[in-house]
Each structure stands twice: as C-alpha cells, then as structure tokens.
C-alpha cells in the first residue's frame, strides 16, 4: 500500500468517525429535549404530592414509603390534568421517609414515554 492510498483511507475513516459523532450528538439532544417535557410532568406530580401529603398528613413512618397516585390527587383537587400535548398520562409518587427528611420520586406513564422503574 502506498502513501496516497493510506492518506485517502485515513480521510475516509476520519470522515466516517466525524459523522458518527455528529449523529450520536444530534440523537442525544433530540432525546433529551423529548424526555425533558415528560420530566416536567414528573415534577408537577411531585409538587402536587407534597401539597397532598401536607394536607392529608400522610407522612410515612421512618424507613417506609407511601405511594400516592395521580387519581387520588385529582379526586382531591390537588392536580388538574397530567398530559403533554395530546398524550394523556397516568402516574404516581413514592414518598420515602429517612428520619426527618422525605424524598419524593415521581413516575409517569404516557403513550410515548414511561419513567424508568414505573410499576403498573
């Protein structure tokens, strides 16, 4: 193999690698943008759950957790709707107690997105 063909081969492989990096970056930004809207739904659910827990005194015992569903909060007027554009979603919040600190984790299930570890 001579030097000209090696240079040509290097340019071809360099171009392929560059295109691969660009495509993966674009896919990453698209996924982040798409999932960001659903993360806002999770945050909305968590904020409503905090108000619901405070109003109903549903504080879990130490090292235990409580599951609060979207339908419970909606029935009690703590949240109105959970949807993104035309996607009507469902969800719940897990409230865990670690002594005096409460941790809230929201989970949503929509036709085009489901939070990781969502349990049906």
Three-state SS for 11-45 is HHHHHHHHHHHHHHHHHHHHHHHHHHHHHHHHHHH
Residue 86's φ and ψ, nearest 5 degrees, are -95, -5
DSSP secondary structure code for residue 74 in this structure = H
- What's the pTM? 0.73
pLDDT on residue 1: 66
- Rounded CA separation 34/113 (Å): 9
List pLDDT tens digits, range 47-77.
Answer: 999 999 999 988 898 889 999 999 999 999 9
The whole-number average pLDDT for the span 94-115 is: 91
């Amino acid at each position: 193999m001579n030097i000209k063909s090696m240079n040509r081969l290097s340019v071809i492989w360099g171009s392929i690698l560059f295109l691969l990096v660009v495509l993966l970056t674009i896919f990453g930004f698209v996924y982040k943008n798409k999932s960001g809207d659903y993360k806002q739904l999770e945050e909305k659910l968590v904020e409503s759950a905090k108000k619901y827990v405070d109003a109903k005194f549903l504080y879990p015992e130490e090292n235990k957790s409580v599951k609060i569903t979207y339908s419970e909060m909606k029935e009690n007027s703590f949240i109105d709707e959970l949807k993104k554009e035309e996607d009507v979603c469902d969800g719940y919040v897990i409230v865990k107690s670690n002594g005096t600190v409460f941790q809230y984790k929201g989970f949503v299930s929509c036709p085009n997105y489901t939070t990781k570890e969502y349990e049906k």
